[in-house]
Amino acid sequence: MVDFSIEPSALNSSRTASGLPTAQPVDYKITARNVSVFYGEKQALFSVGIDIPDRSVTAFIGPSGCGKSTFLRCFNRMNDTIASARVKGEILVQGKNIYGPDVDPVQVRARVGMVFQKPNPFPKTIFENVAYGPRIHGLAKSKSDLEEIVVKSLQRAGLFNEVKDRLDGEGTGLSGGQQQRLCIARAIAVSPEVILMDEPCSALDPIATAKIEELIDELRENYCIVIVTHNMQQAARVSQRTAFFHLGYLVEEDTTDQIFMNPKDKRTQDYITGRFG
Amino acid sequence: MVDFSIEPSALNSSRTASGLPTAQPVDYKITARNVSVFYGEKQALFSVGIDIPDRSVTAFIGPSGCGKSTFLRCFNRMNDTIASARVKGEILVQGKNIYGPDVDPVQVRARVGMVFQKPNPFPKTIFENVAYGPRIHGLAKSKSDLEEIVVKSLQRAGLFNEVKDRLDGEGTGLSGGQQQRLCIARAIAVSPEVILMDEPCSALDPIATAKIEELIDELRENYCIVIVTHNMQQAARVSQRTAFFHLGYLVEEDTTDQIFMNPKDKRTQDYITGRFG
Amino acid sequence: MSLSALLFCLLLAAIVAFVTGFWRAKRLSPDNPRAVHSRPGYHGGYLALWTALPAILVLLVWSAVEPRFIQAEVESNLPAQVLEGSEGQIGLAMGVVRSVATGLERLTPAEVAAAKASPKEAQRLFESKGVVIATPPAAAVIASAEELNNIRHLSRLAKTAVAAFLAIFGFIFAFRKLSPNLRARNRVEQVVILALMAASSVAIMTTVGIVLSVLFESIAFFKHVSIIDFLTGTIWDPRFASAGDAGGQGQFGLLPLMWGTLYISIVALVVAVPIGLLAAIYMSEYAHPKVRATVKPALEMLAGIPTIVYGFFAVVTVGPFLNFVGSEIGLVIQPTSVLTAGIVMGIMIIPFVSSLSDDIISAIPNALREGSYGLGATQSETIKRVILPAALPGIVGAILLAASRAIGETMIVVLAAGIAANLTLNPAESVTTITVKIVSQLTGDLEFNTPQTLVAFALGFTLFILTLGLNVYALYIVRKYREQYE
Amino acid sequence: MSAVAQDPSMSDSDAAETVGRFDNPALMRRRRREEVRFQAYGLIAIALGMSFLVILFGTIIRDGWTAFFQTSIELPIKFDAAEIDPEGTRNANTLAQANYQKLANQALYGQLGVDPSSRAQRQAANALISRDVDSQLRAMVAADPKIIGTTQNVWVLASGNVDAFAKGKIDRQLPQQNRQISDQQISWIDKLTASGAMEKSFNSGLFTNTASSQPETAGLAVALLGSFYIMLIVVLLSVPLGVAAAIYLEEFAPRNRITDIIEVNINNLAAVPSIVFGLLGLAVFINFAGLPRSASLVGGLVLTLRTLPTVIIATRASITAVPPSIREAALGVGASKVQSVFHHVLPLSLPGIITGTIIGLVQAIGETAPLLMIGMVAFVVDVPSSPLDPATALPVQIYMWATEAERGFVEKTAGATIVLLGILAVMNILAMVLRKRYERKW
Amino acid sequence: RDQVKIAGSSTVFPYAKIVAENFAKANAGLKAPVVESGGSGAGLKQFCDGVGEDKIDIANSSRRIKKGEQETCTKNGVADVVEVKFGYDGIVFASDVKGAAFAYEAKDWFNALAPEIVVDGKLVANPNKTWKEVNAAFPGWEIVAYIPGEKHGTREVFEEKVLVAGCKATGADKLIAEKLKAAGTAEDKLHGATEKACAKVRKDDGGKHAIDIDGDYTETLARLQANKESIGVFGLAFYENNTDKLRVATVGGVTPSVETISAGKYPVSRPLFFYVKKAHVGVIPGLKEYSEFFVSDKMIGEDGPLAQYGLVPLPEAEAKAVREIVKDLKPLAPLS
Ligand SMILES: Nc1ncnc2c1ncn2[C@@H]1O[C@H](COP(=O)(O)OP(=O)(O)OP(=O)(O)O)[C@@H](O)[C@H]1O
Ligand SMILES: Nc1ncnc2c1ncn2[C@@H]1O[C@H](COP(=O)(O)OP(=O)(O)OP(=O)(O)O)[C@@H](O)[C@H]1O
Ligand SMILES: [Mg+2]
Ligand SMILES: [Mg+2]
Ligand SMILES: O=P([O-])([O-])[O-]
């Protein structure tokens, strides 16, 4: 029998220790209740509810088309930009319903940052890429302020050392992994409370992937992170909690250890053992 | 510890039994020697050599960008269509070097069929999609001949029953999995000796994937099949031999059992246990 | 203040308002920028818009209606004998008054006195200031001119006052609204989107304008000639129709013109489509990117050459050449013929076919090409059997565009097609087109208030409908094509 | 099975004859030949297209390059005080009224040895120089009255016919009565040429002179300025309006019936014959709005409407080409839709917008038909000082010159066309440079 | 407005240009008029659009204003219109300079271009295909004539002075009148209808015998050079500027020239006009001055630039009368 076991280092036990015990009440950063999403006539998500704790990484896994991205994009009202999409239900970020009547989605997005599947730096300089967010939100009082923010964000994204000599080089000139870290830096720069990542490594090579995973691990100390991934190993490596989606339903959600070692649902088990997907 | 073990059914032991014993000399369908590929200045493949047996499935696995597709596309000189690509070394198909001086790549491609990652049926009717190859190669003496070829190919691809009433419907109107099977039927219709498949299931849902895997298993009885996959479980399920690539090098190649249960190289082991990728 | 000065002041006011809003917003919550909904710039913009926009709108409306009011006022005081005249004569008198008024404003007070004393002197003085008038101005005219100047001054004062009031009021109103919760950004952006929307309505208004500007004259034409006769008539001989001959109505027959238009367009397409399409195929599938990068724009130049140049090219070079070729092979090819016009027009529309088709062919996903190569097809087989069928709807769209361009082309056919309205199948003979007749019926020696000239508008309308139909069809095809790939 | 009879491109004989495996050499040979032939078709098409271009440019340049040169004659002109200013007052009015042409004619008689008593000889000689010499000499005197009483060597323009003759556009071999230049005049011209008193030089007047009824003094100044005003108006109006409309339609407008109608409408406007725009301009801008006829303002407005659809279509296309990931990225850091458009999408679509604008401008600058309708086919002597003044435009000037009877205008027509094509080329190159400059990769 | 605005006939355009140009040189304070060329009909249309600063002052016309046009003028308040006839335009027939010589009579043209001609005392469909069949003295060229299109004033002159005259000369008019009468045309309309019928041009053989030219004489010239065995109709001025390319034909034995036309020997000519809007005189600076300058001997006289260009000058008496009219601004009486 082939052994696909994941070694202790992959599911870092120290992390699991510092992770959040399931039973104990925690301060949830995001709470979703009865979220259903429709694309035109077609329902893509069926009454999903979830609680997502702060300062930890929550992974969404599931086969292609199961609605992971759709659900993730509800958290910063990114679905608003798709004309046919309709969202029902409520999502509380820090206790406030972001789908409430007088909420400005633009402000929601400033608080809930997002990193996309394909690195999408602006075709501007590296500096401008990171400075863009702080600029439009007026987060810097002065030039030196702005520089500080940019440098700090790049440092946090683990990119600063690699690019410090060419901050005015084109962001699109970086390698894929660097671009993705630049996008993370860009997201961090507006000091969001939550960072959403939709398959951030799927376009990257293994080395770049490893770097991003390391970064996620560090960021977890300050942010609430939600990550979508196709790669179960990745979910196991970086997340503390995992939610498994299937055909638009949230099948199971628990600590990552639980999901991978002791899935309750047959579908979850089939999926993580590679029976499908 | 998370258990990623693959159950017996996935690595079907009966198949393994009917597979090819490694030590024993077999009739190799394809033999590659010292194949290096360059894209412009950049070398993507470094002196790779491999022997691929007939009537079996060989899987190429490895992290993204490691050169799997590049190598696969050497087998039918598909790389010729990329202006910047240069191939060195020799590849023998049925003992004849397809990179020899007076070999017509067009003829090579008729003998070595290919199925792509994204199903790419022509925007023609289902019938015309399958009839296209036989027509250009003049394989049918008459109309009824052609019909026979088309029907047989569709049957072999396990699609006939689903589409027999709408052979003159658009090929693009089928579902993703059906489209991929249509592409397989199209490839079979010119009676190739080898079928190359580059991640044939990566755009498909689990059910369609299962169907294709089943189909591959059946086709193996008549063809030499080479399949690239990202999905180790899939490699384990469908292939008899597996080759692991890393950064442009062929790291290890052996029976699938060997590779998954007893990898010789540290990198192979790291990869299949999910340490990276 | 004059309108431009006022607008300039409003601009200044807007800048001031902007700066004020900007600073005010900065103070709203100096420590936590996040507590303020919008950035200071948007607060500034909000304030500036409120300050300047209402005033500018009112000013523009005012300026549009003002002349009529002033005119009416001054007119009412013109001498009685002028007022008895027609509207046009009053208008002329007003023109003189306006000139004199302009002249008076340029004079010094002493000169004004001199001008009032002697009309001759007035004319001389005005001329020395660059205002030429035809005759020495009568006293009444000078009086009216002075009145005009007075009213203008008054109006200007009032305008200034209103603008100032609106600006100040708007400023105060908006300023009091500034607060951390004010969604200044959304407000400003709403105005921006409104402005964008207004811009896109220009296209609609143009169409309405076109329809209106040809509709009434067309209706007038159809009072003379029945619409059925016009649409179904096979004889175009408008001149003799006016004689009141029996059956004269039938002589405004559209069909020969329509046939000529379509025939020439077809010849043009016969030239342009194979050349353009094959060139596009070669450029997108075979040619080195560098070749493509030079050939494509070079061919595009063909579409940029003014059509009048093509027209002369047709008459001076192509027509005689075809005629010569014809006589060598024993054919009579008239120098102006369907062939001449069609070929030259075909050359002109080559780039419409080649560039658009090139774009469309390049947009065909590579997966299809690979699919075909993978089956052992050669490149030309792939192109002919896979790429072209897949690109066909898009190519048809491009061809339709080229066709509508050919149908509407004027200068080439005016020079190269001929003017005899023939219903002929022989491409060596000359035919005429709708556009030729529009030009010739409008610029000729014909009496202007007769159906002969009015018909030009009916023809314009027909042409408009024709191209509209083609475009709707093209859009339908392109839509269908889009769906296929999505 | 009904689907069988479908692919007509492959004849059945083809299939029947060559059944077999892929190594059927006959079939393979045919397929390869087919491949070569097909490529050849493409090459031929491109060669045809390019040769049309070359022929067009070739003919125009062949006919027109001489328009850039002008024949002049050097005459020792005696500024006779008795003739110019008999009373010696140096009054400006008197100086202006003097008969300068006579001075030039007399100088010419002296130069050529013409018998002043023979009317026929006099007339033949007079016809050698331009009627415009008058103004030239008047201007000289006005600038410097001190030359009165002196004799100056002055280069004066030759008449249009002499110019045409000197450039070989009038055939020496023709019988005399069929020529505009008599044998006598030819002998004079030869004499002048031999003595170096007749030369061709660069014709700057082509660019600085305004309309004239004589070919030698006709120039493009009014047309160039008119076209410049028209272009200015078109750029100033159609670019902002077009880009704004495109942004609205592409980014903000809901997708529904109305926007469908707008889209059809815009596509249709791009194809509406330009002459119909002329009718529109006449009805709306001149008859309704009361703008002056023949003014470049009206021309500019009409051509703005003509260009607008092109700009909108090109802009929309380049906006669509900006990948959605850029928009998402901007929205993702909390930019509003408007911000994402103006900060990112618009700058990225700049190359496409530039291309579209230039294509539109290139079309507009060559447009003749609508200008026929709004009174720009006119004889305008005064240089327009504003877009409200009467003016012509380059293509219209070409059109007018093309219908002139005098021989000299034939080369003028082609010369003006070269100027127009030169402007087009410059605009195209500009587009290319700008596009390069703003092109971004993503 | 400090500038005279003129629109109208393209035939008059070159003359108006020369006058406008010289006018500006001669009058320092006044601007050169702006002259538009858009055809007589288009010019008169604008002219009759009304009075006012935004309306033109002068319409050039290569034909007399029509009754209906005058009525429109009056209706629109353009009551007083001064008609100024300033010269004649000769119309000549010419072929390629190397071609054959033609000596036409009006009947030759009728026999060449009419749809029906008289053969043996009967009206029959025109059988003539070549000029030789029309007149044995002519070469055997196929009949191909480029005649002015119907939009041109020249066409009317051609019809009236050539075709109708030829119709009468061959006696076809009587036969046509009989035919029309038989078809039920009223007696009072008979004359007009006959003339109209006489003026018709054949359209057989795909219309290749008589080809309308809507463009200018340059276009006719280009056609002629493309088809050397053809005849074109030109203005005298145009011919005189292109004697190296054209060979002119005589009509009635008379060679067209300024002299023969002004002496009344050459039959095919027509008067040229411009119309002045009286209401604008005294309002638009330079209007009266321009009109007077135009008809001055310096311009339209025998040695003037217009004659040099090709205008057939008015006989002295007519010129004098015209100068009177312009001086007194005598309006045109309503046409009947
Ligand atoms: N813009 C859209 N319009 C219509 N349907 C959509 C749209 N986006 C997604 N869908 C549909 O919604 C369902 C869920 O899609 P979603 O992208 O959320 O899946 P996913 O789990 O992220 O898949 P993947 O792993 O492939 O990214 C799918 O069936 C998909 O086809
Ligand atoms: N057309 C090309 N031009 C230049 N470089 C290329 C091209 N195609 C592939 N490469 C490069 O060659 C290397 C190998 O690519 P290849 O597509 O073979 O990888 P792969 O193993 O198939 O990856 P994946 O799993 O993502 O399909 C990569 O670094 C890739 O960037
Ligand atoms: Mg997704
Ligand atoms: Mg690959
Ligand atoms: O332009 P015309 O009216 O003289 O033909």
Whether the CA torsion B42, B46, B49, B54 is positive or negative: it is: negative
Residue A16 has pLDDT above 50, yes or no: no
Side-chain half-sphere exposure of C187, counting CA atoms within 13 A? 20
Cβ–Cβ contact E209 with C under 8 A: no
User: Domain locations in chain C?
Assistant: 3-182, 251-483
C298 interface with D at CB cutoff 8 Å: yes
Against chain E, the chains showing at least 3 CB pairs within 8 Å are C, D
Structure tokens at E197: 């019928």
**Residues D4, B146: C-beta atoms closer than 8 Å:** yes
pLDDT at B8: 39
Tell me the nearest-neighbour CA distance from D251 into chain A, angstroms: 10
Confirm or reject: Cβ of B41 under 6 Å from ligand 2. Answer: no
> What is the token pair recorded at D71?
């024949």
Q: Which residue of B has its CA nearest to A201?
A: B277
Ligand 2 pocket test, pick from B41, B45, B48, B68 with the greatest ligand atom count within 8 Å of Cβ, gives B68
Closest CA to D225 of D423, D33, D433, D22: D423
Share of chain D above pLDDT 70, in %: 94
Cβ-based contacts of D93 with chain E (< 8 Å): 28
**pLDDT digit string, tens, across residues D115-139:** 888 888 888 888 888 888 888 888 8
Chain A environment of D339 (Cβ under 8 Å): 136
Instruction: Output the CA angle B124-B126-B131, nearest 5 degrees.
Output: 85
Residue of C116 and D34 predicted with greater confidence: D34
User: Are the C-beta atoms of A273 and A244 separated by less than 8 Å?
Assistant: no
Cβ–Cβ below 8 Å for A138 and C37: no
Mutate to test the pocket of ligand 5, among C419, C439, C445, C446 (most ligand atoms within 8 A of CB): C445
DSSP-based three-state secondary structure for A109: helix
CB of E291 closer than 6 A to ligand 5? no
- What are the phi and psi torsion angles at A158 (to 5°)? 65, 25
pLDDT of res. E76 = 84
> B-contacting residues of A 199-238, CB under 8 Å?
203-206, 209-210, 231-233, 236-237
| Contact flag for A and B (3+ C-beta pairs < 8 Å) | yes
Q: Which residues lie closer than 8 Å to E98 by C-beta, 6 or more apart?
A: E228, E247
Specify the pLDDT at position B17: 38
CATH of span B28-273: 3.40.50.300
Distance B36 CA to ligand 2 centre (A): 13
Better pLDDT: B95 or C89: B95
- Please give the backbone phi and psi of residue D269, each rounded to the nearest 5 degrees, phi first: -60, -35
Q: Are D17 and B138 in contact (CB < 8 Å)?
A: yes
CA of A39 to the centre of ligand 1 (A): 9
Q: Which of C127, C315, C436 lies nearest to residue E29, judging by beta carbons?
A: C127
Mutant choice from C286, C364, C375 vs B, greatest count of B C-beta within 10 A: C375
Quick one: pLDDT at residue C247?
40
Beta-carbon contacts of E163 under 8 Å, excluding residues fewer than 6 positions away, are E106, E109, E110, E113, E114, E198, E199, E201
Residue matched to tokens 């299931």: B201
* Domain residue extents for chain D: 70-202, 220-438
Per-residue pLDDT at A271: 82
Q: How far apart are CA E135 and CA C277, in angstroms?
A: 54
- Show me where the domains of chain B are located: 28-273
CATH of domain D220-438: 1.10.3720.10
The CATH-assigned architecture of domain C251-483 is Orthogonal Bundle (1.10)
Chain C nearest-CA distance from A55, in A, is 22
What does the pLDDT look like over D379-430, one tens digit per residue?
898 889 889 888 999 999 988 888 888 878 888 888 999 999 899 888 888 8
Q: What is the pLDDT of residue A234?
A: 86
pLDDT at B182 over 90: yes
Task: Give chain E's mean pLDDT.
Answer: 87
Least CB–CB distance from C33: residue in A104, A106, A139: A139
Burial D97-107 (b: 16+ CB within 10 A, else e): ebebbebbbbb
Is a pLDDT exceeding 90 seen at residue D226? yes
CA distance A260 to A236: 8
**CB of C159 within 8 A of CB of C62?**
yes
Residue D301: its pLDDT value, please?
94
Q: Name every protein residue with a CB atom under 6 angstroms from any ligand 1 atom.
A: A 39, 44, 62, 64-70, 82, 84, 230
CA of A206 to the centre of ligand 4 (A): 14
Burial readout C129-144 (b: 16 or more C-beta within 10 A, e: otherwise) = eebbbbeebeeebbbb
Confidence (pLDDT) at D365 = 87
Q: What is the pLDDT of residue A157?
A: 86
ipTM of the complex: 0.83
Q: Identify the residue whose C-alpha is closest to ligand 1 atom 4.
A: A39
The SS3 call for residue A197 is strand
Q: Quick one: which of D296, D252, D287, D285 has its CA closest to D394?
A: D296
Nearest CA in chain C to A137: C39
- Give residue-wise pLDDT tens across range C426-462: 888 878 888 888 888 777 666 666 777 888 889 989 9
The residues facing E250 across adjacent strands are: E103
Please provide the DSSP assignment of chain B as one string.
----PPPTTTT-HHHHHHS--SSS---EEEEEEEEEEEETTEEEEEEEEEEEESSSEEEEE-STTSSHHHHHHHTTTGGGGSTTEEEEEEEEETTEETTSTT--HHHHHHHEEEE-SS----SSBHHHHHHHHHHHHT--SSHHHHHHHHHHHHHHTT-HHHHGGGTTSBGGGS-HHHHHHHHHHHHHHT--SEEEEESTTTTS-HHHHHHHHHHHHHHTTTSEEEEE-S-HHHHHHH-SEEEEEETTEEEEEEEHHHHHHS-SSHHHHHHHTTS--
Main-chain phi, psi angles of C16, to 5 degrees: -60, -45
Kindly determine whether residue C385 and residue B136, on different chains, have CB atoms separated by under 8 Å: yes
Q: Is the pLDDT of residue D2 over 70?
A: no
E strands, D117-218, in order? 151-157, 198-202
Q: Does A176 touch chain D (CB under 8 A)?
A: no
Give the least confident one: A190-194, B24-28, E162-166: B24-28
Q: What is the pLDDT of residue D8?
A: 42
- pLDDT of amino acid A275: 61
DSSP string spanning D332-355? HTT--HHHHIIIIIHHHHHHHHHH
Cα(A70) to ligand 1 centroid in Å equals: 6
Percent with pLDDT over 90 in chain D: 21
DSSP assignments along E278-327, one per residue = GGGTTTSTTHHHHHHHHHSHHHHSTTSHHHHHT-BPPPHHHHHHHHHHHH
Which residue, judged by its Cα, is nearest atom 3 of ligand 1? A39
* CA–CA dist D350, D348 (Å, integer): 5
Q: Which residues from B are below 8 Å from A5, CB to CB? A: 1-5, 273
Backbone angles phi, psi at D345, to 5 degrees: -65, -45
Token pair, residue A132, equals 């863009």
A19, A27, A28, A257 from A24: Cα distances, Å: 11, 10, 11, 16
Name the D residues in 67-126 with CB < 8 Å from any C CB: none
- E40 CB near ligand 5 (under 6 Å): yes
Mean pLDDT of B187-209: 85
Residues of C in contact with E205 (CB under 8 A): none
Is the CB of residue E220 below 6 angstroms from any atom belonging to ligand 5? no
Query: Which residue CA neighbors atom 5 of ligand 5 most closely?
Result: E152
User: For chain B, what percent of residues have pLDDT higher than 90?
Assistant: 43
pLDDT at position B277 is 54
Residue B14 binned pLDDT confidence (cut-offs 50, 70, 90): very low
CB-CB neighbors (< 8 A) of B8 in chain A: 1
How far is Cα of residue E173 from the mean position of the Cα atoms in its chain? Answer: 23
Instruction: Round the CA-based radius of gyration of chain B to a whole number and report it.
Output: 19
Asked if E143 and E209 count as a contact pair (C-beta separation under 8 A), the reply is yes
pLDDT above 90 (res D46): yes
Give the position, in ligand 5's atom list, of the atom nearest the Cα of E38. 1
- Measured in Å, how far apart are chain C's first and last C-alpha atoms? 59
Per-residue pLDDT, A233: 81
CB contact under 8 A, D255 and A83: yes
Record: contact A11-B2, CB cut-off 8 A: yes
Residues of A with CB under 8 A from a CB of C: 104, 106-107, 136-139
Considering only CA atoms, which residue is closest to atom 28 of ligand 1? A65
Chain B contact present for A251, CB below 8 A: no
- Neighbours of B, requiring at least 3 CB pairs below 8 Å, are A, C, D
E39 lines ligand 5 (CB under 6 A): yes
C-alpha E70/C-alpha E78 separation (Å) is 9
Is B260 at the interface with chain A, CB within 8 A?
A: yes
What are the chain C neighbours of D284 within 8 Å (beta carbons)?
A: 209, 213
Ligand 1 atom closest to Cα of A73? 18
Amino acid identity for residue D350 in this structure: L
Residue D219 in this model has a pLDDT that exceeds 70: yes
- Coil/strand/helix, residue C314: helix
User: For a pLDDT cut of 70, what percent of chain E falls above it?
Assistant: 100
Nearest to A276 by CA among C145, B207, C326: B207
Which residues of chain C are under the pLDDT cut of 70? 1, 239-250, 444-449, 481-486
pLDDT for residue B20: 41
Q: Indicate the average pLDDT of chain D.
A: 85
Ramachandran category for residue E227: left, alpha or beta (phi over 0 → left; psi -120 to 50 → alpha) = beta
State whether the beta carbon of E62 lies less than 6 angstroms from ligand 5. Answer: yes
